[in-house]
Amino acid sequence: MNKDSYTAMLSAVSDFHTKHRFKERGGEEMTYRISLMSEELGEISSCVTKGKSKEALAEEVADLLILVMGTAIAQDFDLNTAFWNKMEKLNQRQSRMVNGRIRVSEFRDVD
C-alpha cells in the first residue's frame, strides 16, 4: 500500500478503530473525541511553548490528524471531499493583516 496516499492513511486509522473496537467501546462518541482533540492541541501547544523538538511536535500533530481522520470514520463523512471543498472556498478568500499576522477568513465589515 502506498503510504503517501490519503486512502492508505484512512485505512490504517479504520483498522485501528476495528482492532480496538472503538464503535462498541465508546471510542467513536463525539464528546469524547472532542476532548481527545483538545488534549492533543494542548500537547501541540506545549511542544511549541516549551521549545520541544520538531520530532516531538510532528508526533503530536500526527496524533491530532489521526483523531480528525477517526472522526470522519466515526461520523461517516468523506474527509477527503470535505478537505478539497474547503480548500476551494479558502482559495477564493482575500487575506488581511490582523495584529501583524496574516488572516484568510470571511471578513465581515461592521458598520
- Specify the pLDDT at position 111: 60
Round to whole Å and give the CA distance between 105 and 43: 26
Cell of 65: 490528524
Neighbours of 97 (CB within 10 A): 8
Q: Is the pLDDT of residue 4 over 90?
A: no
Q: What is the mean pLDDT of residues 1-26?
A: 93
> Cell 490582523 sits at which residue?
98
Beta bridge partners of 101: 98
Measured CA to CA, the distance from residue 92 to residue 45 in angstroms comes to: 30
User: Chain-wide mean pLDDT for the chain?
Assistant: 94
Domains of the chain: 6-104 (1.10.287.1080)
pLDDT (average), residues 87-106: 94
**Quick one: average pLDDT of 26-35?**
96
